[in-house]
Structure formats: C-alpha cells, structure tokens
Structure 1
C-alpha cells in the first residue's frame, strides 16, 4: 500500500547525514516537509535543496522541519550538505524502502534508457504524523514557495 494523503507515516528508521538513526515519528508535534530527490550534487537537486535552505527560517517559524531523502550514501549527503550549507537533515534511503512506501520509487526513462529511481516529490505531514498534502513529479521552479504557502494556509 502506498502512503497518500490521509495516511499516517511509518515508524521506519533511516540513517541521517550526521550518522544518527531518524524516524519521521521522531518529529511528532511539528509539521514535516518531506522531500524526495534523485541525487546529491546534480543541478535540479542542488537548486531544490538551496531553495529549501533559503526558506528554512520561514518554515521554522511555522513549526515545520525540512527533511530531504535520496538513495545517496551518508558521506555524499554530508558533502552535499556542507558544500551548500544546508541547515536540515538528509536521510539515506539506499534500499529505497521509504521511497517505496511513499510510491516515489518508480520506473524512469532518460535518453532511451529505463531504470528505477526517485520521482521528485514532496509531502507535508501534520504534527499528528498524517500526510496532509502531496506533490508528485515536482518541477523545482517555485515549488518551495508553494510548499511554504500551503503550510501558512493550513495554519490560518
């Protein structure tokens, strides 16, 4: 079963960029902006991460944490985070278990090749641990502002 709007998030532990084991349920009481991205250090993923970085304070003021997830290993996440001064956690989903739970581990096509990979997606999780909004097949431009506005709107 794929997690969708209305579903509770799983209590699944993943390795974070800092070496800690983290579960989405650790953040109960806060909004979570959970974004899945294909790969560290690529142009679209860097733009998206930097857009979230630039709005980090605005999300924090709304009691929201940002968490990025990709299949990249911990050391690559650390380098990506340091290089771009990312103030939020990046989780390692090297076995794509969380991505499969959220239905974002999909067949992709690029230059005539087919392969399995992350479909860029973002989910808003409320303080009770329930998914309240999803964006699938995300286009990076203006996406972070849209997510921020959504959280502002549901809090008013």
Structure 2
C-alpha cells in the first residue's frame, strides 16, 4: 500500500455531479481527504459518510476537500449522496483501477473492498494513511487531526 511521503498518483473519475474529478487539478489549491469505502448505503459506509458530512465545514476550514471513492455507479452515488445530503463528491471507480493504483487492500479474507483514507497535502504528497474496515468514523477524526497539523 502507498505510504506517508509518497506522491499521490494522479487519476480522473466521474463524480456524482456528472463532472470529471482530476486529482492533479487540486494541487496547489487544497489538501484532499481521499477515502475509499466498500459500498453505498451499508451501515459502516453510511456512518462514515455522514460523519464526514457532519464535519465537512471543519474540513473546509482546514483547507481540505473530502472525496469518497467506491466501485458503485454514478447513479448509486447520486442516490446515496442525495439520501444523506452529502456535500462532497463521490467518485465511481467501477473497474477498481484507482483502488488498485492506491494499492487499497481487500478486507475480510478478500471478500470486501477495503476502507482506507489518505490525507494528501496541497503538493500532492500523502501525509497520512489509515486502513480500518471496522473503525469507519475513526477515519474522519484521524484525518481531521492530521490536517490540523499541516501548514495552511
């Protein structure tokens, strides 16, 4: 898996709003909290997304954008984001290429896509990696703490 100090690989994926999100377009502008999650509308993923939603303004105040990635379709993401009023983008990685690019491991004996959060600074360098399937809301708390320690 990628680690702290590595350059975050560039990618582009379709977003819930129909646009294409490109990581490289964020460089120099803001930090990115890139979180990979298993599936829309499952209990742990919903708790994680709603925790990011509830603290979204804190992330913006820290100069960061939150971006979620799963293999669900754009339509699934739109439904999930609408149902839970998510203010951030969800990206459709249908073929799992970005998950592979970030070397996100599978969980539960390889049965589920893993839950991993990366904090990427404005320069595109990974500052934090957290891999935990069960600690869904811990991803939010930990990412926020890391951002608080980064230069503005």
Normalising by structure 1, we get a TM-score of 0.89
Q: Structure 2: how far apart are the matches of 1:144 and 1:19?
A: 25
- Shift of the alpha carbon at 1:58? 0.4
CA deviation digits over 1:79-102, x for unaligned, max 9?
Answer: 000000000000000111111111
Q: CA RMSD in A?
A: 1.6
Runs ≥4 residues deviating over 6 A: none
Q: Structure 1: how far apart are the matches of 2:137 and 2:91?
A: 23
User: Which structure 2 residues correspond to residues 38-77 of structure 1 after superposition, within 5 A?
Assistant: 38-77=38-77
Q: Structure 2: how far apart are the matches of 1:142 and 1:8?
A: 24
In 2, are the aligned partners of 1:31 and 1:64 still within 8 Å (CA)? yes
In 1, are the aligned partners of 2:41 and 2:80 still within 8 Å (CA)? yes
Q: Is there any run of 5+ residues in structure 2 with no aligned partner, and where? A: none
Specify the alignment match of 1:6 in structure 2. Answer: 5
Which structure has the bigger radius of gyration?
1
CA deviation digits over 1:98-155, x for unaligned, max 9?
Answer: 111111142643xxxx53x421010000001111110012512443122111111223
In 2, are the aligned partners of 1:123 and 1:135 still within 8 Å (CA)? yes
In 2, are the aligned partners of 1:96 and 1:105 still within 8 Å (CA)? no
Specify the alignment match of 2:125 in structure 1. Answer: 130
Q: Structure 2: how far apart are the matches of 1:118 and 1:103?
A: 11
Specify the alignment match of 1:154 in structure 2. Answer: 150
Normalising by structure 2, we get a TM-score of 0.91
